[in-house]
Structure formats: C-alpha cells, structure tokens
Amino acid sequence: MLGSVLKSINRRLGTQSRAAETRGASAATNDGNPASTPQKPNLALAPDQIDPKWYEGKPGYIQRFVLEMSGECNLRCVYCPQAGENYVPAKALSEGMFDDVLAYLKRHPVDMIDLTGTGDMSMAPDWVDKCERLLALGIKLVVTMNYGTILTDEQIEILSRFTELTVSLDTIDRKILNTVRKAVDVRTIIYNIMRIRAAERRNNTNVRWVVSAVYTAEIVERLPELASFAAAFGANRFQIQDLIEFNEFNIAKKVTDVWTLTGPQAIAAVVATTSAIEIAQRNGLNTLMPPNFVERLDKLREVASQSRNWSSMTQTPGAYFSTFNPAPESGQTRDCVDPWTFVHVMSDGRIRPCCISNLHIGKMQKDQGGMEAAFNSEVAVKLRKQLLTGKLDDLCTACSLRPVIDIASYQKKVRDMTAG
C-alpha cells in the first residue's frame, strides 16, 4: 500500500512546474529525481575541438545573483558549519562593498537578487536600508531567514515587499526545535510570520512563501505537522533538504541521518514523510524534494524489514559532504551551468561560483577587479572546462544538487546558451 502511495506522489511531483519557482533550485530538484539521460553513443567534442567562447562568462548569462548581507547567524543549528569550533563567520556587508555592488547592478541590471547567505540577513545592522536601495532599482528580492529574533515594525514592512520569503524551519514542536536549532523559540518565528502576512494585506502586496526543513531523524515524525502549518498560514511551497555532512567540520553527526534508520524506525520515517508530502499537495502547495528522494523513500521502506542499513550501501562520500546523488560515470558530467549563470557575492566581497563550493572566482571590490574580472578568472574558466569535458574535481563529482548528463548533451546545452 505504502509503495503505491509513493509511486503516486512521485508522479505528482514530476508534473509540477518549476517556471515560477526561483528559490530552492540550488538546493533540490523539483521532481524529486534527476533527469535520466537515455543511453546513446557519446559524440562529445574533444577538449581541443571545443569553441573557446564556451568557456567565457558574461554578465548577461547570470540567472541567479546571490548577495550575502552577513556571514553571521543568530542561531547555532547543530548540523550547520556555524556550530563548528573552528568556524569563523564573515562580517556584515560593508557600505563600501555595497556601493560596488550597486555600481555593478547599474551597469548590468538583474531582475532578482537572493539575499540568502552563510549567515542570517537579520544580523546585518543596516539591512533594511540596503534592501530599500535595491528595491528602488526595481530589483525583486528573495531571502531565506530563520525569523528567530523579533522583528521591528520597519523590518516587517520591508519584508512584506519581498517577492519570496523562505522560512528555514525543521519543526514547530518547541522542544524538538531546541534540540536541533539552539536559542530559538518557535513562537517568535510564528509571530514574525503572521505580522509580515498582516503587512502584506495592509500594503496590498503578495509574498510567495516557502517552508524549508532539513531532513533528520529528530524531526521526521513531526513533518506532517510542519506541512500542515505551512498550509495553514498560506505558504506556496513545502520543501525538504537532505542533511549534508561538511566533512571539514564534522557537524552532521550531531543529529541522525534518516537514511541510516532501520526496521520500525525507518518505516515510521517513511510513513511520516509520505504523509507530509501528501498534506502539502492536497492543500495546493508545490513540493520541492532532493534528487531521487521518493525513490529513496521507497527503497528505505523495502529494506527496512530486513534490518539492513541502506545508507551504508548507497551513500557516496564527497570531499566536503556526503550525498546520495550518483557520481558521473565515463562519458558523463554534471548537468550544472552555475559557473556561467550563478554568482554568490559573500559579505566580505569574495565571489563564489555555486552555492556549495568553497572556491572563489574573484572579489567584488572595484580595486580588486570586480565582478567583470571574476567572470573569466582562471578559477572560473577551469570550472567550465571541467564540466565541458567531464573531468570533474571531487566537489563536483560528489555534488548532491545536480543530476548527471552525457557530455555531448551538456556541450550542446552550453553551445546553445552561449550562442546569443
């Protein structure tokens, strides 16, 4: 019975459109499964046959612009690198740095900016003023926050003008929440959400809301309640993120990975997760799941009765984290164009080429080259060459976010993207 329910959910997930969903694309795939590529002869070009312009980056290619207001966070989630003893967060975005960003945006306008970073935007002392200036340029704003500190009237008003707000929240059970996210009271989170919703009504705005939970054994049995809460306050999307182990900080071992559960605990986790997804879909919410998520649930259910640890049989260790996403085989690469279409400006000015890489392709400061120089830095070009040839580094090989694709199809995608 449960297996047929999972198949039904998988079909529904596969029919949902990604067109209107901007946030979350860096964290999961909308259908719960990476696109499978039919087996066919590999007609990929050799490195010396690739058009050099395919390696180039241009401002016009950017589809997702992330600007980090602060590297500091008001919480200490036990599975987050910020909880690591040796973690040193970056300071808030300076006024001079922000001026350099504004100057770039005036030269190369973007439609939308994601203000999510390694910290929480609320930790930046002047974030409201910076948001006002971005909105004045006609830029749509989105952000993921924890809403764990009571917001001021001014902060509530500006957030009610955002295009999308994601609530990073694992459970609404107060006791459980405090075991995974230190120093937060769910009542504060709910209070802030409802005040922003009220401001929307007052200002005739319409924020798109997302509730996003990190998938751990500690919270899994209360997932149906979280999905119900998301539906109750009018969220548009309910999403689940895999627990990621950042090996350099050894953080995620402080909670239990759902995929390591066996027997009755595993079955209970599958039942609760399936129920949460059904509740969200029944109430009209879009659902966003990690790669292969529903297939993994079905497999976990299947092996649970045999008291086997499915995680130990399937999990692939990466350089910085572990993932269930299959590694590319010969003739394949990652279906990722982030080195062309994504930039993450950190609060200290370093520019990252994707949301999980610790590489930096340049610095935003005008006197250090700025964004234009970063687009075609040695690091940026090297990343594009690796993807175009399938010769990936450890991080891209173990990426949990992007499916695999045959190199020939990937090269065609890049060729079409750079043809304009």
Q: Say if residues 225 and 170 touch (Cβ distance below 8 Å).
A: no
DSSP 90: P
pLDDT for 394 = 87
* The residue to which tokens 């090996």 are assigned: 247
The pTM is what? 0.86
SS3 311: helix
DSSP codes, 140-184: EEEEEE---SPPPHHHHHHHTT-SEEEEE-S-S-HHHHHHHEET-
pLDDT for 21 = 40
Q: Say if residues 53 and 143 touch (Cβ distance below 8 Å).
A: no
pLDDT for 206 = 97
Residue type at 74?
N
pLDDT for 72 = 84
Q: Within the chain, how many helices (H) and strands (E) appear?
A: 15, 16
Q: What is the pLDDT along the chain (420 residues), one digit of tens a residue?
A: 666 666 677 766 665 544 444 443 334 434 444 444 444 455 889 999 999 999 999 999 999 999 999 988 888 787 777 666 676 777 889 999 999 999 999 999 999 999 998 889 999 989 999 999 999 999 999 999 999 999 999 999 999 999 999 999 999 999 999 888 877 899 999 999 999 999 999 999 999 999 999 999 999 999 999 999 999 999 999 999 988 765 554 455 678 889 888 889 999 999 999 999 999 999 999 999 987 888 889 888 888 866 555 454 444 443 333 455 678 999 999 999 999 999 999 998 999 998 877 889 999 987 788 899 999 999 999 999 999 999 999 889 888 788 899 999 999 999 999 996
End-to-end CA separation in angstroms for the chain: 51
Pick the closest to residue 288 from 171, 176, 166 (CA basis).
166
Q: Say if residues 120 and 169 touch (Cβ distance below 8 Å).
A: no
Provide the 10 A C-beta neighbour count for residue 73: 21
Percent helix / strand / coil, the chain, rounded to 5: 45, 15, 45
pLDDT for 150 = 96
pLDDT for 407 = 96
> In angstroms, what CA-CA distances link 339 with 80, 133, 336?
25, 27, 8
* The residue to which tokens 């079905």 are assigned: 298
CA-derived radius of gyration, the chain: 21
